[in-house]
Structure 1
Amino acid sequence: MADGKLDRDFLRSALALMSRTDVDRLLFVSDHPPSPTEIRGRPTKRKLVYAVSSEGIANQLKAKKATAVLIPPYDYTRIEKIKVAVVAAQSAGLLKDGDTVLALCGPGDDRVMDTLVKLVIGSEDPEEKIRVDTLGLPPEFSSQVVESLIHTAMEIGAEGYEGHAVGTIVVIGDSTAVMEKSRQLILNPFQGISEAERNALDPPIREAIKTFSALDGAFIIREDGVVMAAGRYLLSMSRDVKLPMGLGARHSAAASITAESNAVAITVSQTTGTVRVFREGEIALELRQKLRRV
């Protein structure tokens, strides 16, 4: 697993910290799980959660009664990969507010682990390195839907459409209010399709979202994943929204609609491919691309 004595000692030290009573989970973000000899005999290995980008590896781990979650196979920075892994673990019900989590990650293909981050789920401390709580989702939201759409947004940011970079907005939840605060720019490509056949949890619909992301306007999606519309122009433009320098109209619209409703908005930057999640008018999660494929 590790290439040198220092790397092996680093890994063993991280695994040893897992035994502390004040550590609830160790998130191992890599497609190269530690060898059985590095895990054997550790009574707290039940705290270990693997975050892998291969469904085959995830199934192998689960067959060995290990806990694993899937993350998208894109080349993000270490901290971004940890953020995505935390979101996936939260969606799977493996993390809750107040949990202390150690996250272990590395560069490239993660054969060598060189980064260990400690975070508290739900922390409001502005000094926290990673602030990835449950996004303050109301109970009617499906975390599975939100996670799935974040992953779809990451694919759009990394791949674009037909080799061209695209940007888009996906608004989830409070769909009645959001529809009232928006207007149709183009013919709605989802109009006339039954609800059962236009749910964002279905792979064909996620592919359709990726395709239609090249169109102007936002996607409006219900809390349960049903796609209400694409190509909507968001009319909200709150003056109370404060965004970092360099973010334009797309991000301002996403922040404004979440400030004026109970919705969550996901944006993909056409310029950089960065994915941002907005909640209550603020950026709740930011995932920067390390290397784009467009």
Structure 2
Amino acid sequence: MAKFSDQFQAFCDIAIGLKNAQKADAILLLLERPTDFKQLEKAFAEEMVVVAGDTKAALEGSGESEFDTILLNMPDEAPVYERLTQALLEAVADEYFAEGASVVAVYSGFEAGVIDSLSLIKLDEHLGRLTVRDLRQLKTKIPVETIKLVVDLAVEIGREGREGKPVGSLFVVGDHRKTMSFCHPMGFDPVKGYNKAERQLNDAKVRDGVKEIAQMDGAFIVSADATIIASAQHLSAPNVPELSLPKGMGARHWAAAEITAATGAIAIAISESNGTVRVFQNGEVKLRIEPFRRAMKWKAFDTDSPS
């Protein structure tokens, strides 16, 4: 067990002071190594604290504490920003934090395993924003603008639902010819018979139409140029034994994982239970976006390579 250092204690005190001064709602502690949870409880007495750990070892002893905990299970090389974001997403999904909460995050920003940094984070701003750079990390030949267009549409569906009711849906983008070889219609296909111009997602009227029919069973198949090829499709990609998804994932998410493992497509799944949008590639979840009430903001970085 790592020593509960004077520096760690000082950062706990500073975090409490910042939380009170800014009227924040909670504190998030991101641990890379085991700690003394009894000392931690004394340091954060009476405070709302969620503890996230990189590994099971980092959370050893937390079961006897009063803290809510999150196991990240992320690659060792994952940047601290990504680990913080994942911890915040998990905390919102588990209802430890409200969507619009303000959180003081305490973490190791410079020296591995040493608590040396803290940030004040407003969740509706931090988690409601994706960057074009995030999508380029998918390393696909599908134009980033097409993926961005479908992700935006999926987030709107996840946030708005249909007549006040949550809606789950699935979009499969790119490699549409191979994808269609694993599809068969579930019945009436609302987009069948329309010409290509009338099936273009760049058209706001088409996107509105997709929102209307998103509550139907089956997946939307979208080409790389943002044309809807088919809707209401049942996916029957071959099962891939080595696929592994987090607990709680339903048939829609498994279908997204399987089709992206079998093709070069990107799948974008909307959870019916909470509207969360997940982006799949190569059988894995690559991005997760929470459907906050505010519209999502896209931000381009100066360091992005040209499209």
Task: Report the TM-score, using the length of structure 2 for normalisation.
Answer: 0.53
Q: Is the 8 A contact 2:101 2:124 kept in 1?
A: no
Q: Is the 8 A contact 1:199 1:205 kept in 2?
A: yes
Counterpart in 1 of 2:146? 145
Counterpart in 2 of 1:12? none
Counterpart in 2 of 1:42? none
Task: Provide the C-alpha distance between the structure 1 equivalents of 2:202 and 2:180, rounded to a whole number of angstroms.
Answer: 21
Structure 2 letter corresponding to 1:151: D
Residues 134-173 of structure 1 aligned to structure 2 (within 5 Å) = 134-138=137-141, 141-173=142-174
CA drift at 1:209: 1.4
Task: Provide the C-alpha distance between the structure 1 equivalents of 2:159 and 2:197, rounded to a whole number of angstroms.
Answer: 29
Per-residue CA deviations over 1:99-124 (Å, capped at 9, x if unaligned) read xxxxx9952776xxxx7xxxxx98xx
Structure 1 residues 191 and 273: CA distance shift in structure 2, 3 A: same
Per-residue CA deviations over 1:133-156 (Å, capped at 9, x if unaligned) read 531212xx2211110110111011
Task: Provide the C-alpha distance between the structure 1 equivalents of 2:198 and 2:277, rounded to a whole number of angstroms.
Answer: 26
Unaligned 5+ segments in structure 1 are 1-5, 8-74, 80-103, 116-120, 123-130
CA drift at 1:241: 1.3
Structure 1 residues 76 and 254: CA distance shift in structure 2, 3 A: farther
Per-residue CA deviations over 1:7-30 (Å, capped at 9, x if unaligned) read 9xxxxxxxxxxxxxxxxxxxxxxx
Per-residue CA deviations over 1:60-100 (Å, capped at 9, x if unaligned) read xxxxxxxxxxxxxxx67889xxxxxxxxxxxxxxxxxxxxx
Structure 1 letter corresponding to 2:254: S
- Selected match of 2:278 from 270, 276, 279: 276
Task: Provide the C-alpha distance between the structure 2 equivalents of 1:145 and 1:276, rounded to a whole number of angstroms.
Answer: 16
Task: Provide the C-alpha distance between the structure 1 equivalents of 2:267 and 2:167, rounded to a whole number of angstroms.
Answer: 17
| SS of residue paired to 1:232 | strand
CA drift at 1:239: 2.3
Q: Is the 8 A contact 2:100 2:122 kept in 1?
A: no
Counterpart in 2 of 1:213? 214
Structure 1 residues 188 and 106: CA distance shift in structure 2, 3 A: same
Name the larger-Rg structure: 2
Q: Is the 8 A contact 2:253 2:269 kept in 1?
A: yes
Structure 2 letter corresponding to 1:173: G
Counterpart in 2 of 1:47? none
Structure 1 residues 192 and 136: CA distance shift in structure 2, 3 A: same
Q: Is the 8 A contact 2:169 2:219 kept in 1?
A: yes
Counterpart in 1 of 2:241? 239
Counterpart in 2 of 1:251? 253
| SS of residue paired to 1:186 | coil
Counterpart in 2 of 1:288? 290
Q: Is the 8 A contact 2:259 2:265 kept in 1?
A: yes
Query: Percent of pairs identical after alignment?
Result: 33
| SS of residue paired to 1:256 | helix
Structure 1 residues 107 and 226: CA distance shift in structure 2, 3 A: same
Task: Provide the C-alpha distance between the structure 1 equivalents of 2:277 and 2:102, rounded to a whole number of angstroms.
Answer: 15
Task: Provide the C-alpha distance between the structure 1 equivalents of 2:155 and 2:246, rounded to a whole number of angstroms.
Answer: 21
Structure 2 letter corresponding to 1:135: L
CA drift at 1:164: 0.9
- Selected match of 2:122 from 99, 103, 107: 107
Residues 62-211 of structure 1 aligned to structure 2 (within 5 Å) = 107=122, 133-138=136-141, 141-211=142-212
Aligned residues: 180
Unaligned 5+ segments in structure 2 are 1-20, 23-98, 104-118, 127-131, 295-307
Task: Provide the C-alpha distance between the structure 1 equivalents of 2:173 and 2:156, rounded to a whole number of angstroms.
Answer: 18
| SS of residue paired to 1:259 | helix
TM superposition outliers: structure 1 runs of 4+ over 3 Å? 75-79, 289-292
Structure 2 letter corresponding to 1:243: L
| SS of residue paired to 1:196 | helix
Q: Is the 8 A contact 2:168 2:269 kept in 1?
A: yes
| SS of residue paired to 1:239 | coil
CA drift at 1:191: 1.0
| SS of residue paired to 2:197 | helix
